[in-house]
Amino acid sequence: MFFDLLLVGYIASAGFVAAGVLGTLYQLVTKQPPKFSFSGENVFAFLVEVFLCVFAGPFIIMRNAIRGRRIEKRPLGWLVASSTIAGMWSMCSGIMVMNVALIVAGYT
């Protein structure tokens, strides 16, 4: 049981790290923070934005939640709820990240 919880924590951490790296890379390239919005300029831009929202979602949620707590003085429950959503999302994307890593390493 303890090993299973440790594995879930590791996978969620991998998902959140992947979200942070992708969000930071987007910010480095575009000079603006990632957000949940679609410009719809063309099909390629739309697909990139959807990919960004799917995999960098936990990073975007946590950045907005921390800024909301600091700047807008939102209640602590808001931060806890956002952290829970980001954690579950990180776990789901972490499963995908770990599967890709195992495929690249040749274990499956």
Q: 76-104: per-residue pLDDT in tens?
A: 999 999 999 999 999 999 999 999 999 99
In the chain, the number of structural domains is: 1
Using alpha carbons only, what angle is made at residue 10 by residues 84 and 14, rounded to the nearest 5 degrees?
Answer: 80
| Helices then strands, each counted (H, E), the chain | 3, 0
28-39 residue pLDDT tens: 998 999 999 887
Give the integer Cα–Cα distance in Å for 40 and 47: 9
Q: What pLDDT, on a 0 to 100 scale, did the predictor assign at position 38?
A: 82
d(CA 13, CA 3) in angstroms, rounded, equals 15
**pLDDT reported for residue 5:** 94
pTM, two decimal places: 0.88
- The pLDDT tens digits of the residues spanning 58-75 come to 999 999 999 999 999 999
d(CA 15, CA 56): 9
pLDDT, residue 39, reads: 77
Q: Give the structural domain span for 73.
A: 2-105
